[in-house]
Amino acid sequence: YGKGGIGKSFTLANLSYMMAQQGKKVLLIGCDPKSDTTTLLFGGRATPTIIETSAAKKAAGEPVRIEDVCFKRDGVFAMELGGPEVGRGCGGRGIIHGFELLENLGFHEWDFDYVLLDFLGDVVCGG
């Protein structure tokens, strides 16, 4: 944990890349409603979040598949949990929902050497 803007996301993106280059199986999970953890790994492009994807799939009556929410680049598997818009709910609930979905997708059966979690500086509930 740490204050916003001190380089947590930058550090974890680079650390995950370095470990993957050393042959480790790494998963980087962004746990911030801003969903910007993985943009460095994906050339500035945002990846779909678990929260957004889950809502869209539910509305369409389709199940969420791991390939809908987990992406790979340069040997690093990465995903964004997402969360509510600023001032429109609790960021902590987004984190809980994301991890519940990962559990349903068999997260504990995945064979990662390292799972890095990039948490936001503070979890506030508003709106």
Q: Catalytic residue numbers?
A: 3, 8, 34, 122
Asked if 83 and 116 count as a contact pair (C-beta separation under 8 A), the reply is no
Q: How far apart are CA 48 and CA 74, in angstroms?
A: 18
Residue type, 26: V
Which tokens belong to 52?
Answer: 């957004």
Burial class (CB in 10 A: 0-12, 13-18, 19+), 89: middle
Tokens of 64: 């969420």
Type of residue numbered 53: T
Cβ neighbours around 106 below 10 Å, total: 9
